Structure 1
């Protein structure tokens, strides 16, 4: 007798790829129309309809609803500033560092956001603009307010917790330990070195401000300006930055609508510059945050892939860079209409520098654009097709400080000597937009209606985060058919509620491991 031909079965991997959340037809699962998208599967997103990915997670723990906490501070050393005030520096622990191609923001569980699995962004103490405890290199020490930073290693950078994307903004840094202003016969030349400026997300934290194409810095020695590791004379001869000096940095950026025209190759200087500043129903930023809550010790964070350096800007640092055709020579300099988006510059952008409230001049014009596709993220397995360069809202120029200290042996007790401390100051207290700086000369001030202190930006950024969270929640709610979908199911054996993942398994929020 002839045997009946067997039907070829799909492989296990192929069957799993076809399964719906909850195990397909295994019972107890959700209907495919109500299922949460599998984060391992890419999905095509039509142009103009991009949305963030949603992950399948377990329900929050009760502790996830508690207010986010600041790092744990462990006293490291004390210094005395020029006014005789004691500054205590701390080593921070129990928090994550932005590294390994990821950046982190604090989050908290909130029952008002069920479509986002109950998590939204939040801020821990100290509230207000300060140097970020997460967005910094290792071996940086802070005071508890996050306004003073120092280090005993080579150059290390710390960025602020606020970024500017458009308009005119200003911040100041007071050098409390650095090049000595009055040097005695037995005194060292300096207690350390400082560079201050503005840095993008891609700027290296283990290098000084101005090291690469992503940051612009002022060097304390001779007051030189540094960009792409190329120091150039800027201050008048003899105008070093010394202990007690206050350095002010003002940045001007065009509107985001003009910025997007530049990076998308739609900029026409004959037309767009005339309309700059006029609001003709400009499209709002489409912020897409592909982030997932993770646990680190007693903290909850959103983890999101960070922006990375691009080859074109690395080549720009090379003294003999590659041209756009791939050969060595004289490539086209960065400009608003450059064929490569990363090499496009922003019209009407500049950085001005002040010393003790006195305008020293304009250090840079034509700052490099940062909105996608000028900035890029590494491709992720969960990233939908057709959305390779999202703007997650973290892009912009951040106030940045880098400090350098050399450990020296004291002849008295063999302990390391103190060096290289800096203080981040509010613009409204000592410089632009107020009665002036601390110098003896009459400063040239800027009216408040033209330049805002970065402390004001903190409040704006909080409002933006709230709006983005609400937009994401409403977007996911609409995807679910304008109703709250219960993505939990009853585990009959364990007798508990658990979250769903592809295939019906339960998944807890992952634990992050980092060296403190």
Structure 2
């Protein structure tokens, strides 16, 4: 009887066998195990185990959600937020989708009315005599310490501005220039402890390597400038002393992201020529360039020529639309110009007797930092395994086709130091992110700037044209009404597909870029003013009062009071 009673129990055991739908070779594959092996194993549990794991994970997530709600409640109680229901605390409002930074409107600020002094012509820095030296030509050179002006640092870039009564919106101000007028080394775009002459064309320091940039940037075309070494490696060392140099210098081109507290060529954002052995330096890697024993000594004149493709081709490169089989030929035949999309987020600030536009500056990118690092450790090392090229997957590592930097010494071409320069238009360059700011915008300041570095007594005199000490062949001659001195035509550049590159552009002095930059500032100021005026409905004058005679007194009366003062900027020396 005992066996009879136990047999039915044994007959009931087949109910525990998996159903036909769960037989391994015929079971329906779920989306989560579509790539799982057909045979179950401890590493591949059957469907029931998967369901159990899913239920456990759901319970775990539910516990985490409860814990998050408690933490949120504690935070609200600590802030003194009361009177809300539990459901309101447990169900926070969903976040709104983030707007596209490129579609956001320019930053607007509530500005104080301009002061009478804001309509006066901008003043340059205060010059305080620092030291004098005698150069190889017997000239006494006087260097001054500049003060009472801002420095481009702390992720901000500054330009002089002035109040304009012709601007009816509440923006009030436009770009302007301060003396000395013309192309020169910038007093604001420089490191500290740099000493200049009054024209801003001569620079020296008594500290370690530091850099200053010119007040103009080149963005397309062929440009030339030169500089004379007035203090550096001695051309004929004196036998009575062991002194071999009065300091050191480096010359080249630098972008906005290049560090001012380092020599030209220190990072990926600058290209420099070193006086010792005439080596070329990029990313702190010196390479032989001049013939052996050919130093850059006192009295030598070094000329630098840069060639950049058109901004139209440049934008194709940085946006990933560059096709070398088509665009290089089209570059040669393309005659019409395409205006860049310049967007400037800026605010006028007051510093002592000056008014400046404060703009967010561009910052270094991790891809170029890793490119400079000989032993990359981050996740971008894989992308850096591919050398920079025009079609690189990373915008910051894309290069400009048919771009180069040539170097001259005392009128003799020493060769092409670099080809395929790194692109600089956004998104290859990115702005420092600030609350309410936008990234990957072109504010008109990006480009390659003539740059000079000096070290412990080294001194350089710059010459941006039009009268050069050693004019290169092919340079536009202002005395001949724009004619050029002919040179042997270079051989057509052949691309990898057998086609030829664009024709040789005219070589121009960098000082002509200064006039172009002023015209661009005028145009962009008008565009900004029209945009701000349109947002106020046109015809609405500054304080909501229409009309006015346009005079300074009338403007100040129309501006009225009751607003906060412009924020004051106090910058450390």
Normalised by the length of structure 2, the TM-score is 0.73
Matched, 1:430 2:469: yes
Matched, 1:109 2:163: yes
Q: Which of 368, 377, 397 in structure 1 is aligned with 2:448? A: 397
- Superposition deviation, residue 44 in structure 1: 4.3
1:117 deviation in Å?
2.3
Contact 2:224–2:507 (Cα < 8 Å) also in 1: yes
Secondary structure of 2:426's counterpart equals coil
Note if contact 1:195-1:403 (Cα within 8 Å) is conserved in structure 2: yes
Alignment partner for residue 189 of structure 1, among 241, 244, 250? 244
Deviations 1:277-306 (A, max 9, x none): 433655310111100000100110000110
Q: Is 2:542–2:558's contact at 8 Å kept on the other side of the alignment?
A: no
Aligned counterpart, 1:250: 305
CA deviation digits over 1:46-96, x for unaligned, max 9?
Answer: 96x665322111110111001000000000011111111111100000000
Instruction: Tell whether the 8 Å contact from 2:277 to 2:288 is kept in structure 1 after alignment.
Output: yes
Q: CA deviation at 1:486?
A: 3.3
State whether residues 64 and 108 of structure 1, in contact with CA within 8 Å, keep that contact through their aligned partners in structure 2: yes
Q: Secondary structure at the match of 1:429?
A: coil
Q: Which residue does 1:510 correspond to in 2?
A: 567
Q: CA deviation at 1:184?
A: 1.3
Asked whether the equivalents of residues 359 and 444 of structure 1 are also in contact (C-alpha less than 8 Å), the reply is no
| CA distance, structure 2, for counterparts of residue 51 and residue 469 of structure 1 | 16
Q: Give the drift of 1:478.
A: 2.1
- Measured against aligned partners, the alpha-carbon deviations of 1:335-374 in whole angstroms (never above 9, x if no partner) come to 0000000000000000000000100000000100000000
The 5 Å alignment of 1:93-492 reads 93-187=147-241, 188-279=243-334, 281-322=336-377, 326=380, 331-383=385-437, 387-405=438-456, 419-427=457-465, 428-433=467-472, 450-487=506-543
Question: Secondary structure of 2:312's match?
Answer: helix
Tell me by how many angstroms 1:330 deviates. Answer: 6.6
Aligned partners of 1:178 and 1:194 also within 8 Å: yes
CA displacement at 1:488 relative to structure 2: 5.8
Uncovered stretches (5+) of structure 1, i.e. residues with no partner: 1-7, 10-41, 406-418, 437-442, 490-495
Secondary structure of the equivalent of 1:56?
coil
Paired residues of 2:360 and 2:431 also in contact (CA < 8 A): yes
2: CA distance, partners of 1:508 / 1:152: 40
Gaps of 5+ in 2: 1-82, 85-96, 476-484, 490-503, 546-556
Partner of 2:396, secondary structure, is helix
CA–CA distance in structure 2, aligned partners of residues 264 and 402 of structure 1: 33
Structure 1 residue 498, shift from structure 2 partner: 7.0
Is 1:52–2:98 an aligned residue pair? no
CA shift, 1:473, in A, is 0.8
- Please report how far the alpha carbon of residue 479 of structure 1 lies from its aligned counterpart in structure 2 after TM superposition: 2.3
Distance 1:478 1:312, change over 3 A: same
Report how many residues are paired: 446
Cα displacement (A) at 1:246 = 0.4
1:34 alignment partner in structure 2: none
